Amino acid sequence: MAYQVGVHRVVGRWEVTRRTVFYVILVGYSIITAIPFLWALSTSFKTEAEASRFIPTGLPVHPTLSAWNGPNGVFSADFPHYFFNSAVVAVIVTVGNLLFDSLAGYAFARMRFPGRNVLFFMVLGTMMVPVAMTLVPVFVILTKLGWINTYQGLTVPFMVSAFGIFLMRQFFQSIPIEIEEAARIDGLSRFGMYWRLALPLSRPALATLAVLTFQGSWDSFMMPSFIASSNSMATLPVGLQRFSFQYLTLWPQVMAGSMVVIIPILIIYIFAQRFFVEGMSSGAVKG
């Protein structure tokens, strides 16, 4: 990256080389990023014999749907059921976070009550607790409640997040307070100000929170793996893990199952990528 200022022609040639090297690196890294996905997609249309060959075929030589709808294929196994469970859980968790994180975020941003700041620091403090520390307690509490293998067990503990509360509080603080003072004169209650003023103004923050929460819940594995100990309650990652431990050598089926988990998030990502990126970098730089 070093270059000398002064001799024009040298700078020009160096600049061309420099830019070429940059593009080679970026394109190369893009290929490294894309290949595992493309390889898995292609494999899901191969026969088991073709997928296990050492000298691989790029595109399937004899394309087949048997990994998808054949015997042991993902459509014939329990995958549609796992998909349903994942969708129910992710939607409930997302709606819960939108409601509860924004309520708490609004209270911390705008309302004054004794102990508010202590409570807010407690919220931030829970971010320091490693998930591994709550494995045993969550299992025990859910067992005592009789919530193992239920939708309540898979959703209620995850319906609020410290990150979400923090994100919403930051956003609510950026709304000019004068708007609320005008609304107060018009006779709007506190709940009215939250519901009819602050929430509609917070669509970008709510969209970010929704997208990140949905993705987190959809991909989540460790907690659901013991909360859903029976296959009938398994979410997609849990079901996929159990399927793969049982049929590891059925590569086309395992790859097809992986695609079932990845593709819905890919679709959301394509349409909402700016919310993913904004959420990540806002949490990073300010947090």
Partner 1 sequence: METIQRSESGMPAPVGARGLVPRMPRLWGRSRHQAYKREDVVMGYLFVLFPFVIFLTFSIAGMLFDFWVSFHSWNVIDTPVSVGSANYNYIFRQDPVFWTAVENTVQYSVIVVFFQTIIAFTLALIVNQNIRGRTFFRTTFYFPSVTSSVAISLLFLYLFNNLGLINYVLSDVGITGPNWLGDPAFALKSIMGLNIWTTTGTLMVIFLAALQDVPRDTLEAAAIDGATGAQAVWRVVVPQIRPAIFFVVATGIIGTLQVFDQAFIMSQGSGGPENSTMTAVLYIYNMAFANGYYGVAAAASFTLFVVIFAATLLIRWLLREG
Q: Which of residues 129-188 bind partner 1 (CB under 8 A)?
A: 129-141, 143, 156-157, 159-160, 162, 165, 173-174, 176-178
Candidate residues 10, 12, 17, 29; the one interacting with partner 1 per rule CB under 8 A: 29
**What is the closest distance, in whole angstroms, from the C-beta atom of residue 74 to partner 1 in the complex?**
12
Count the alpha carbons within 13 Å of 199 in the hemisphere toward its beta carbon.
Answer: 14
Number of residues that bind partner 1 (CB under 8 A): 107
Residues 6+ apart with CB under 8 A from 18: 1, 3
Count the alpha carbons within 13 Å of 253 in the hemisphere toward its beta carbon.
Answer: 26
CA dist., res. 190 & res. 196, Å (int): 10
Candidate residues 89, 123, 198, 209; the one interacting with partner 1 per rule CB under 8 A: 123
Indicate whether 16 belongs to the interface with partner 1 (CB under 8 A).
Answer: no
CA dist., res. 173 & res. 198, Å (int): 10
Candidate residues 46, 67, 74, 101; the one interacting with partner 1 per rule CB under 8 A: 101
Positions in 42-81 near partner 1 (CB under 8 A): 43, 52-56
188: left (phi over 0), alpha (psi -120 to 50) or beta: beta
Count the alpha carbons within 13 Å of 261 in the hemisphere toward its beta carbon.
Answer: 21
Candidate residues 7, 59, 71, 117; the one interacting with partner 1 per rule CB under 8 A: 117
Q: Find the part of the chain contacting partner 1 (CB under 8 A) among 67-75, 77-85, 117-125, 197-205.
A: 117-125
Indicate whether 122 belongs to the interface with partner 1 (CB under 8 A).
Answer: yes
Indicate whether 276 belongs to the interface with partner 1 (CB under 8 A).
Answer: yes
DSSP state of 10: H
